[in-house]
């Protein structure tokens, strides 16, 4: 069975509700995981937007959430998760802080990728990492990966 990430909050390729964005309550969506390899020691979740700032002319990938050292037995993260499973840690997003930061695209419809990685190790950092440091530490340790993509476009211009 292959690693799988799903959400009851939005369908693969579908629009995300405003409650998960800067226009709403900015809540993290509910997520579920299955097919974790038996050799996995931890899971990593990376949520990012490759369409920043303009999907017609993307210039960078904007990181919305980093979670690492999720226990491999983790099957769900609740909507607006207030406490991560024991041992799980968060990295620093491009908002400059830990924690979920929802979609808030300045122009057009953006894609938001929820990427799940199963690792054969538990990661250790002196301080909460940013995405490049996290990805470098994961190198050579990824057993399987899966992705879920949702979209969002602001209903009004800020």
Q: With CA atoms as reference, report the closest residue to 33 among 109, 85, 108.
A: 85
Residues 55, 51: Cα–Cα separation, whole Å: 4
Q: With CA atoms as reference, report the closest residue to 99 among 39, 26, 15, 30.
A: 26
Q: Where does the pLDDT of residue 71 fall: very low under 50, low under 70, confident under 90, or very high at 90 and above?
A: very high
pLDDT for 157: 54
Q: Tokens 């909050």, residue?
A: 9
Say whether pLDDT at 156 is over 90. Answer: no
Instruction: Report CA Rg, the chain.
Output: 15
Residues 24, 81: Cα–Cα separation, whole Å: 16
Name the domain count of the chain.
1
Q: Which residue range forms the structural domain that includes residue 90? A: 4-152
Residues 14-69 pLDDT 10s: 999 999 999 999 999 999 999 999 999 999 999 999 999 999 999 999 999 999 99
Residue 80 in any domain: the answer is yes
Q: Tokens 């950092």, residue?
A: 125
Residues 124-155 pLDDT 10s: 999 999 999 999 999 999 999 999 999 999 98
Burial class (CB in 10 A: 0-12, 13-18, 19+), 5: buried
Task: Please report, for the domain that includes residue 122, its CATH number.
Answer: 3.90.280.10
Residue 158 in any domain: the answer is no
pLDDT for 1: 79
The pTM assigned to this predicted structure is: 0.96
Count other Cβ atoms within 10 Å, centred on residue 69: 21
pLDDT for 150: 98
pLDDT for 158: 45
Residue 47 in any domain: the answer is yes
Residues 84-100 pLDDT 10s: 999 999 999 999 999 99
Beta bridge partners of 45: 67, 116
């Amino acid at each position: 069975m292959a690693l799988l990430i799903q959400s009851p909050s939005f369908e693969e390729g579908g629009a995300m509700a405003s409650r998960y964005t800067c226009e709403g309550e900015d809540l993290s969506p509910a997520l579920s995981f299955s097919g974790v390899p038996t050799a996995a020691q931890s899971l990593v979740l990376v949520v990012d937007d490759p369409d920043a700032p303009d999907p017609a002319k993307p210039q960078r990938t904007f990181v919305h959430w980093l979670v690492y050292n999720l226990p491999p037995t983790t099957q769900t993260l609740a909507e607006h998760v207030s406490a991560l499973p024991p041992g799980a840690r968060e990295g620093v997003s491009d908002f400059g802080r830990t924690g979920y930061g929802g979609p808030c695209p300045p122009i057009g419809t953006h894609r938001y990728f929820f990427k799940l990685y199963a690792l054969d190790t538990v990661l250790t950092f002196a301080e909460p990492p940013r995405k490049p440091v996290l990805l470098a530490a994961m190198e050579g340790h990824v057993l399987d990966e899966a992705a879920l993509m949702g979209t969002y476009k602001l209903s009004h211009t800020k």
